Structure 1
Amino acid sequence: MTVPRLDLPAPNRELSPYTGLTREHWCAYADFLLRSVQRFATEDHANIHLPGAGSAYGPRSDSLEAFARTFLMASFRMAGDPAATGWLADWYAQGLDAGTDPRSPDRWPTPGELGQAKVEAASLAVGLALTRNQLWDKLPERVQGQLIAWFETVVGEEYPPINWVWFQIVVETFLASVGGRSSAEDIEAGLAVHDSLYRGQGWFADGPERAYDHYVGWAFHVYPQLWAMLAPGDPRVKARGTLDGDRLADYLDDAVHLVGANGSPLIQGRSLIYRFAAAAPFWVGELSGHTRLSPGTTRRAASGMLDYFATHAAIDGQGLLSIGWHGEFKGMKQSYSGAGSPYWAAKGMIGLALPASHRVWTAVEEPLPVERGDIRRLIAAPGWQVNGTQSDGIVRITNHGTDHARQGDRLADSPLYARLGYSTHSFPDLAPESLDNAVVLVDGAGRLTHRTGFSTHSLTVSGGGLEGSSGGAVNWIDVPDTTGPDHGSGVAGQPTQGPEMTVTSFTRGAVEVRMVRLSGTSGCPPARLRIGGWPLDPDSDLTSVVVPLAGVGEPLDDGGSLAGVEARPMGSGMVIPWVGTSGPATDGLYVVVVGFGGAGVSESVRGVQLDSDPNGFRVRFDGTPVPARETEPLGSTRS
């Protein structure tokens, strides 16, 4: 099969001085991706059988997923440019007919038959609502009836109390708009779950756990605004308009600080194979009018993401989105991931539903916060200290609040949630036991402790830097050979409790002073302490360093670099610097300085000082003291 051509216009540096991308570039990418997947469709267009890995739900689920998610992309394209997209309406109309024809051997499993179909039904409903004039109204009455019957199998179904409740809400709202059955009880119950997961200042947790990730934006903020577009006259929509809109605007105020100057979103959390779906909430802010960001900043953030992935091999030689981050990386596959799963990147193309005359397309790009200056920001709900540095464009978080678990749980650490640090320029080590941004104890068998279930002690901002603290008993976890589905949480196993560990991070720019307090070591198996820094590709031009802070606390007399040569989501190989104890760690205080960034990081690390007095510690970055507010004794539980 011949791969379609990607015909991109020349970069427009007057309108888009940072990325060069205009709406025409976005259209070109969307059309190229859509034409590429259509080559793998069945003759009736109902199922798209993409090459590559399959999910745990089987090929019928995976082929529906590929259809639904690419249809969502096509619907944005059609909504924003009806005159030029008749070819998409015709192609997908055939698939909608065959997929819902109960007599067809290629028919889709219904949401009542297959859980994953509940997810994909929402993409189909949103797409049909956005293209009502171009597509739904032109479908034969027979096909409309088939679709209504297929959608109606969601009514009364159970949905897990996470972002999934929105899939039922939008489908039943669409049904109500086209004369199908719907349940007010279902919708109201879903809205109640949504509100129960709100954690303040624009942030949601994806369930009862401390699960903070990109689902906050591309699910909990995108769907309420799409729902409002589906039923603008609904009294529930009207009653929630200001509430949901303000929450979105609050979230975007934080989210824009989590985009690196390279265009990468924060590399943290599950489903990262959706890549530029992280652009979706920025577009929805403009689509709904609920944003405080300038349109030039919104487009800079969104176009930066598309450009980042397009120029880092996210689109393979067949014109397909692979499972991975840059290119294909099978190690990022989760149990629900099939070859069509990456096409939820379609959400990041929702800006195409806005016409070419919209201000978000006509405004000149403006710089991201990290391009205007250094960032120091606390995000309370997930417990993140955000530090961005203009000199290298890196955004980093230091994590004292997120682990995809509940306080007190004793689980293995989830690599994408429980690390002490994540950034826009380094990919986490995907092994559950790792020195990546870690403070761990290593027993005689080589097992590393896990921090999941910790308590957040404090999170404070003041003039000189940021401070966060968390702690609790660490555990060794013996994980069975066979574990359950990977949906983000750390896996369960047989725990062996270790000592109490409190970690306090003083951060500014590229530097963290990491203080570790151990207590209760005498009652636990003897174990060496290891404090690890940021993981880097061996060929990276960035610097990752960890050094003991001389003259403070217990001695750290061992160190080195953990090196690997295996393939990685952003390259080949990985190096993690570390320091620790050569023998069993004892109760006491251990202090290191961690640095990660571009030129000058090593000098910044060497410039850190720590002064002590009877009341605690005073950190000095490059000779500048952190104010007294941040020098309280370790173990403070203020919030």
Structure 2
Amino acid sequence: MKSSYTVENPDYQLSPKTGMTRSHYIELAKYLLEGAFQHIDSFDDILTFPLIDGKTYPQEDSPAWRFRSLEFEALERTFTLAAPLIHNDPETEIKGINLRDYYANLLYKALTPGNPNSLPMPEDLPDSTYQYTCEFGGLFKTLLLMPDTIWSVYTEEQKAAMVKTISAWGHHRTTQNNWRIFNITTLSFLKKQGYEIDDGLLLNHLQWVVSYHSGDGWYLEQTYNYYSISLFIVYTTIWNRGFGDEYYPEISKTIEKSAQKLMESIGNFFGRDGYINMWSRSICYRTWVSGAFPVAFMLENPNLLDGGWARRLCSGSLLQFVTKEEFFVNGIPSLGFYGQKDYMVQSYSCPASPFLMFLPFICLALPEDSPFWTETENDGFWEDLGDASTQTLLPSPGLMLVNHGKTGTSEIIPGKVYYDDPNYSKLTFNTHFPWEDQNPDGGTSMEYAFRSLDPRDLRGDDINFYLTGKTVDNDSELRAKFTHSQNMLFNGQRDGVLYRQAIMRQPPNNGVGYIIDLAEITLPGGVLRVDRTRLAFEYELTLGHFGLPHIDGVEATVEERKLADRTVMIARIPGRSLAFITYHGWDQAEAMTHDGNNAEADSSTVLFARKTAPKVNPKMEILITAMLHKMDDSEWTEEELSPVKDFTIQTFAPSGSPCGVQVNLSSGASHHVDYQNIDGLRTC
């Protein structure tokens, strides 16, 4: 087996961007399953994968049910690839094993009580939620879409035996928001097949799911993230067509409306080449969000996306990963982004989890004459963008999407983040500069890092010592480390300026004394930051640019330029370059090498600025910084490094708000940054 995928015999007539057509999707699905099937030798072998040391499950000392969960997850999630192949050709074989027979056999054994590898019943475990519920949901989402794959091969007696387990888990306790969708697809499949279910429970789950719709086609899921697209849109649209339209038409219409709304902006999340942004949790699922592209052609209005552009983005996102050798570990997708990285995965992931990234292969359930397959690949809105950058504001989830025509990259700027988590808390997420882990020594990529110099913190006193007269045993060593925003607030956009707030400490001290008011103006290939500090006590701050990976161990080159009113730091690797320009408020600009933080390499270079305010009662400060990027090896010109013509800092803006800033760009555009009423505008 090849160490990575190559598009053989590309069709550049129909697909001039990627060469990928329907036949290549079938070829790629087989290639990926061949990697998985390296771990079995015969028809009756249970599909499972080698354990991975670290925080994922199971570990050697895990209870037996965790190993059953791994097996079921491997079976269900690889079925994401197998089912479309079976749907297109029931005689498909991998390693000489008929896929339809193999999955029908293994699923029957897993779902029939009494078999050696059967799943435990909920009543055999402590009353809680378990990964089994999630996998049942995925399985029956697939069978609602493609029921012809395996369900029809079972006898009525076999089905009845399996239904006992299916029903028990379908009716079992679930957790909040997105997990209800798993119970919905499971119960709906049973009802459609004529089995008795608790209709009231199904309706209850449906009401809960619909209640999470927030606007702009987005749903609340702990915070706002890709689950809103991949589960709340992809899974529920499949549910609509397979069940909801017939049994719950009013709910189906509501879901349909939100899905159609999402399609207005779905393309803006992707780079021009189809690259997906490394953003939000469950990073190892990677391209599952690309499942929205085939779903667009399952909607009642199938003309919401251009078929050629949808396929181009879908194909590009898959090729982003499967063409890289480091993406594969043990022949299957790694637990990470480009390669194996423990810091970016969660404890609920196992070696089989990444196969959910192949959700886009539901495109093989579309008819061959679907526009998704027949229209010529194109670059959609990118073809007319030129060097400009566009903004798409989604106020409901608090997201700004930026597409940079100059570089072909796309960015997600999050505004509603409830906790300190680099999956969400970065100032900006870029498709071609994946985020880095946080650094307790400062200089964290694309985040403000804050360290208290307050002597009370350095002594380990309670910050409220002066009120209580008592000392609380705070960890002075921990206080000496850099921390990052504890939550991010969305404050809207005015006159081309996006406003947010980074709250640098949790309650009770996050209300008034640890705020950085964020204001940003999009530039071609970057951003101008005009931020205001409201940090009440002595502090040190750093602000980092994107990280540059040391590919193959080759360090980035760094240079510093002193221009008239600013310091410019430049870092380069082959094919990518960053410029970090400090205009006002910073003490110095630096470069730092990070180890073990980057998604693409073991080491990386981060450009960052540093500021220290060691005096009691530090004043409000305006921090002005430009962060630019390139996707080529060209030299930075002085014109490119001069995005700002001039700026004026006002003690009070005309509105009366402290520290207004008038910014005139070299492009001729002008912006007035005014933090008026910013606290009253916050949403999260």
Q: TM-score, normalised by structure 2?
A: 0.81
2:628 is aligned to: 596
Matches within 5 A, 1:347-366: 347-366=359-378
Deviates more, 1:92-101 or 1:47-56: 47-56
Deviation at 1:365, TM superposition (A): 0.8
Deviation at 1:259, TM superposition (A): 0.3
The SS at the match of 2:548 is: coil
Residues in 2 aligned to 1:455 and 1:127: alpha-carbon distance in whole angstroms: 37
**Residues 23/308 of structure 1: CA separation in 2 closer, same or farther (3 Å cut):** same
The SS at the match of 1:309 is: helix
Mark the runs of 5 or more structure 1 residues left unpaired by the alignment. 406-410, 478-492
Instruction: Identify the match of residue 266 of structure 1 among 261, 265, 277.
Output: 277
The SS at the match of 1:592 is: strand
Deviation at 1:349, TM superposition (A): 1.2
2:177 is aligned to: 162
**Residues 20/44 of structure 1: CA separation in 2 closer, same or farther (3 Å cut):** closer
Deviation at 1:601, TM superposition (A): 8.3
Deviation at 1:117, TM superposition (A): 0.3
Matches within 5 A, 1:434-513: 435-444=444-453, 446-460=480-494, 462=495, 466-471=496-501, 473-475=503-505, 499-513=514-528
**Residues 325/473 of structure 1: CA separation in 2 closer, same or farther (3 Å cut):** closer
Deviation at 1:509, TM superposition (A): 2.7
Task: Give the counterpart letter for 1:573 in structure 2.
Answer: S
Deviates more, 1:242-251 or 1:307-316: 307-316
The SS at the match of 1:326 is: coil
1:487 is aligned to: none
**Residues 353/602 of structure 1: CA separation in 2 closer, same or farther (3 Å cut):** farther
Asked whether the 8 Å contact 2:450–2:482 carries over to 1, the reply is yes
Residues in 1 aligned to 2:514 and 2:145: alpha-carbon distance in whole angstroms: 56
Deviation at 1:620, TM superposition (A): 2.6
1:137 is aligned to: 152
Residues in 2 aligned to 1:557 and 1:534: alpha-carbon distance in whole angstroms: 20
1:566 is aligned to: 596
Deviation at 1:638, TM superposition (A): 5.2
Asked whether the 8 Å contact 1:510–1:597 carries over to 2, the reply is yes
Deviation at 1:193, TM superposition (A): 1.6
Residues in 1 aligned to 2:548 and 2:188: alpha-carbon distance in whole angstroms: 47
Q: Does 1:246 pair with 2:249? A: no
Deviation at 1:137, TM superposition (A): 1.7
Q: Deviations over 1:1-20 (max 9, x none)?
A: x7899785311111111111
Asked whether the 8 Å contact 1:558–1:580 carries over to 2, the reply is yes
Q: Does 1:121 pair with 2:153? A: no
The SS at the match of 1:500 is: strand
2:70 is aligned to: 62
1:397 is aligned to: 412
2:429 is aligned to: 422
Residues in 2 aligned to 1:95 and 1:502: alpha-carbon distance in whole angstroms: 56
1:388 is aligned to: 403
**Residues 571/7 of structure 1: CA separation in 2 closer, same or farther (3 Å cut):** closer
Deviation at 1:164, TM superposition (A): 0.6
2:268 is aligned to: 257
**Residues 593/47 of structure 1: CA separation in 2 closer, same or farther (3 Å cut):** same
Matches within 5 A, 1:331-370: 331-370=343-382
Q: Deviations over 1:29-53 (max 9, x none)?
A: 1112223323324856473221242
Deviation at 1:154, TM superposition (A): 2.6
The sequence identity of aligned pairs, in percent, is 20
Instruction: Identify the match of residue 184 of structure 1 among 184, 199, 202.
Output: 199
The SS at the match of 1:395 is: strand
Residues in 1 aligned to 2:511 and 2:306: alpha-carbon distance in whole angstroms: 52
1:528 is aligned to: 540
Task: Give the counterpart letter for 1:443 in structure 2.
Answer: S
Residues in 2 aligned to 1:504 and 1:601: alpha-carbon distance in whole angstroms: 26
Deviation at 1:602, TM superposition (A): 7.0
Instruction: Identify the match of residue 557 of structure 1 among 587, 591, 607.
Output: 587
Deviation at 1:195, TM superposition (A): 1.9
Deviation at 1:250, TM superposition (A): 1.6
2:643 is aligned to: 607
Task: Give the counterpart letter for 1:312 in structure 2.
Answer: K
Task: Give the counterpart letter for 1:153 in structure 2.
Answer: A
Instruction: Identify the match of residue 100 of structure 1 among 72, 96, 111.
Output: 111
Mark the runs of 5 or more structure 2 residues left unpaired by the alignment. 454-478, 550-555, 557-572, 655-659
Q: Does 1:518 pair with 2:533? A: yes
Deviation at 1:174, TM superposition (A): 0.4
Asked whether the 8 Å contact 2:435–2:598 carries over to 1, the reply is no
**Residues 416/279 of structure 1: CA separation in 2 closer, same or farther (3 Å cut):** same
Q: Does 1:587 pair with 2:625? A: no
Task: Give the counterpart letter for 1:70 in structure 2.
Answer: T
1:482 is aligned to: none
2:315 is aligned to: 303
Residues in 2 aligned to 1:215 and 1:272: alpha-carbon distance in whole angstroms: 11
Aligned pairs, number: 598
Asked whether the 8 Å contact 2:278–2:337 carries over to 1, the reply is no
Task: Give the counterpart letter for 2:212 in structure 1.
Answer: L
Deviation at 1:556, TM superposition (A): 1.8
Residues in 1 aligned to 2:355 and 2:192: alpha-carbon distance in whole angstroms: 27
Asked whether the 8 Å contact 1:534–1:596 carries over to 2, the reply is no
The SS at the match of 2:69 is: helix
Deviation at 1:454, TM superposition (A): 4.1
2:567 is aligned to: none
Q: Deviations over 1:190-222 (max 9, x none)?
A: 122212211101111213xxx121111110001
Task: Give the counterpart letter for 1:506 in structure 2.
Answer: I
Asked whether the 8 Å contact 1:402–1:418 carries over to 2, the reply is no
Task: Give the counterpart letter for 2:427 in structure 1.
Answer: L
Task: Give the counterpart letter for 1:231 in structure 2.
Answer: F
Deviates more, 1:535-544 or 1:319-328: 535-544
1:486 is aligned to: none
**Residues 136/375 of structure 1: CA separation in 2 closer, same or farther (3 Å cut):** same
Task: Give the counterpart letter for 1:604 in structure 2.
Answer: E
**Residues 187/432 of structure 1: CA separation in 2 closer, same or farther (3 Å cut):** farther
Q: Deviations over 1:137-173 (max 9, x none)?
A: 2212332122211111134422111211100000000
**Residues 269/567 of structure 1: CA separation in 2 closer, same or farther (3 Å cut):** closer
Matches within 5 A, 1:599-638: 600=636, 603-608=639-644, 609-612=646-649, 614-615=653-654, 616-626=660-670, 630-633=672-675, 635-636=677-678, 637=680
Residues in 2 aligned to 1:631 and 1:273: alpha-carbon distance in whole angstroms: 39
Q: Deviations over 1:570-614 (max 9, x none)?
A: 123222211122442722222222323215587434221324565
**Residues 579/601 of structure 1: CA separation in 2 closer, same or farther (3 Å cut):** farther
Residues in 1 aligned to 2:217 and 2:242: alpha-carbon distance in whole angstroms: 22
Asked whether the 8 Å contact 1:4–1:35 carries over to 2, the reply is no
2:34 is aligned to: 35
Deviates more, 1:417-426 or 1:431-440: 431-440
Task: Give the counterpart letter for 2:624 in structure 1.
Answer: V
Residues in 2 aligned to 1:5 and 1:430: alpha-carbon distance in whole angstroms: 27
Deviates more, 1:468-477 or 1:272-281: 468-477
**Residues 49/602 of structure 1: CA separation in 2 closer, same or farther (3 Å cut):** farther
Backbone CA RMSD of aligned residues: 2.9
Asked whether the 8 Å contact 1:385–1:397 carries over to 2, the reply is yes
